[in-house]
């Protein structure tokens, strides 16, 4: 790769061992993908924060890097950890797990990283603009940044995003290059797609069908004229989970597909049609009827979503454990809404989520959720049976501890 003088000095260790290690990782990556040079980034976002996923080996690796004096040089935020960093005891997180989790977050903080612990960094201050080059690793945030904002990032691993944060650079390949951002497949969506769970089911189906290519989505039904950012965030999260989609375009909605920019589609793009969402709903559902855990907020809930949840919970008491996961800053911005929601017995949980927390140690068996991504991962990552459906249905399940079709 062609490195600048400054990048060479990083690689040669003239700026310290921690930076040298980071540059070595990026050069190796660049060589694998045929990048000619590095490019400067505006921000980084790092996954690999939950102790549940990292384990002791990951914690040691981080500590070692910290001891080499590595510091980040661009604004960098963290993905959800394995627990609410303040209220973990109330949620029943075991002491041993909490101790290790706090060590992980401390190691990141030592490098100058903000412990935001959210998968929606773009809602709480780490907000790139169109065309910015960034190095993000949370798959749902990568999808949102690329597709909804029009920033440029590859689907980084936690390690490569951290290396980019430390050097302020990433190898120039993949989605950083204009020519690689064209859609290879057109998806005509003929049915009405309504709430968050519908967008989750749709995302699941598209991800399953097309793997990791770039889809161009046409919402044909007139009722889908105004797609919200919350709907796009859940759609992208779901596609990134069942497939590995890091970028999608929505006709006349997302920035690169505004005004029907057909140059964003390759010439011989194939076309598929989605007529209804039943395939997504049935793949993400088990047949349990008793519910002991309800999880909403995947990706982390926005202020708007909190408002909706608050309305649905008015004058209700929940019987099942109900977690509404959101960024700590969103929770702070929600002000009086938090009390309103928690009056029902629900918990607004920050810094973590239903998938990266050690849910399997908390004794739950059957989870209800309105999130396609959570429904997809909960059986394999948390050993839970899942019921997947609308927000209204999930609130009803939290109140009655039952799921009836
Ligand atoms: Fe976020 Fe956890 Fe879902 S990291 S996207 S809430 S699985």
Q: Can you give the pLDDT of all 405 residues of the chain as single tens digits?
A: 999 999 999 999 999 999 999 999 999 999 999 999 999 999 999 999 999 999 999 999 999 999 999 999 999 999 999 999 999 999 999 999 999 999 999 999 999 998 999 999 999 999 999 999 999 999 999 999 999 999 999 999 999 999 999 999 999 999 999 999 999 999 999 999 999 999 999 999 999 999 889 999 999 998 998 999 999 999 999 999 999 999 999 999 999 998 767 789 999 999 999 999 999 999 999 999 999 999 999 999 999 999 999 999 999 999 999 999 999 999 999 999 999 999 999 999 999 999 999 999 999 999 999 999 999 999 999 999 999 999 999 999 999 999 987
Tell me how far CA of residue 282 lies from CA of 28, 38, 81, 114, 355, in angstroms. Answer: 42, 45, 30, 39, 20
Q: Which helix (H) or strand (E) holds 249?
A: strand 249-250
CA of 89 to the centre of ligand 1 (A): 21
CA–centroid distance for 348 within its chain = 18
Tell me how far CA of residue 70 lies from CA of 167, 176, 230, in angstroms. Answer: 9, 25, 36
Q: For a pocket test of ligand 1, which of 237, 296, 357, 378 has the largest count of ligand atoms closer than 8 A to its C-beta?
A: 237
pLDDT of amino acid 399: 98
Question: Looking at ligand 1, which residue's alpha carbon is closest to its atom 5?
Answer: 299
CA of 33 to the centre of ligand 1 (A): 28
CA of 230 to the centre of ligand 1 (A): 14
Question: Looking at ligand 1, which residue's alpha carbon is closest to its atom 6?
Answer: 298
Would you say 328 and 116 are in contact if contact means Cβ atoms under 8 Å apart? yes
pLDDT of amino acid 261: 74
CA of 80 to the centre of ligand 1 (A): 7
Provide the terminal-to-terminal Cα distance of the chain, rounded to the nearest Å: 58
- What is the three-class DSSP state of 332? helix
pLDDT of amino acid 19: 97
Does ligand 1 have an atom closer than 6 angstroms to the CB of 237?
yes
CA of 297 to the centre of ligand 1 (A): 8
């Amino acid at each position: 790769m062609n490195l600048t003088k400054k990048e060479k000095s990083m690689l040669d260790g003239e700026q310290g061992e921690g930076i040298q290690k980071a540059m070595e990782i990026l050069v190796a990556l660049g060589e694998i993908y045929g990048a000619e040079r590095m490019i400067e980034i505006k921000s980084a976002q790092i996954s690999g924060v939950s102790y549940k996923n990292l384990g002791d080996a990951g914690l040691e690796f981080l500590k070692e890097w910290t001891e080499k004096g590595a510091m980040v040089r661009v604004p960098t935020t963290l993905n959800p950890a394995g627990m609410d960093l303040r209220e973990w005891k109330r949620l029943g997180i075991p002491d041993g797990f909490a101790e290790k989790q706090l060590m992980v977050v401390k190691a990141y903080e030592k490098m100058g990283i903000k412990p935001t612990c959210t998968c929606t960094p773009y809602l709480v201050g780490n907000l790139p603009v169109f065309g910015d080059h960034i190095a993000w690793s949370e798959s749902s945030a990568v999808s949102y940044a690329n597709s909804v904002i029009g920033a440029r990032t590859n689907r980084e691993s936690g390690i490569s995003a951290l290396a980019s944060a430390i050097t302020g650079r990433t190898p120039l390949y993949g989605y950083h290059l204009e020519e690689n951002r064209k859609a290879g497949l057109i998806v005509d969506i003929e049915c009405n797609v309504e709430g968050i769970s519908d967008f989750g089911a749709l995302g699941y189906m598209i991800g399953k069908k097309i793997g990791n290519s770039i889809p161009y989505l046409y919402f044909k039904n007139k009722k889908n004229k105004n797609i919200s950012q919350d709907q796009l965030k859940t759609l992208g999260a779901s596609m990134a989970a069942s497939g590995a989609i890091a970028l999608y375009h929505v006709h006349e909605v997302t920035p690169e597909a505004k005004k029907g920019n057909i140059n964003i589609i390759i010439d011989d793009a194939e076309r598929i049609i989605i007529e209804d969402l039943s395939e997504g709903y049935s793949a993400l559902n088990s047949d349990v009827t008793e519910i002991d855990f309800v999880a909403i907020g995947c990706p982390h809930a926005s202020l708007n979503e909190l408002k909706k949840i608050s309305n649905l919970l008015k004058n209700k008491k929940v019987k099942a454990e109900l977690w509404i996961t959101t960024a700590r800053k969103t929770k702070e911005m929600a002000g009086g809404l938090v009390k309103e929601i928690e009056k029902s017995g629900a918990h607004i949980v920050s810094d973590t989520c239903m998938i990266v927390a050690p849910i399997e140690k908390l004794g739950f068996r059957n989870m209800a959720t309105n999130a396609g991504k959570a429904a997809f991962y909960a059986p394999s990552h948390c050993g839970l049976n899942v019921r997947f459906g609308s927000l209204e249905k999930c609130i009803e399940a939290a109140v009655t501890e039952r799921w009836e079709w």
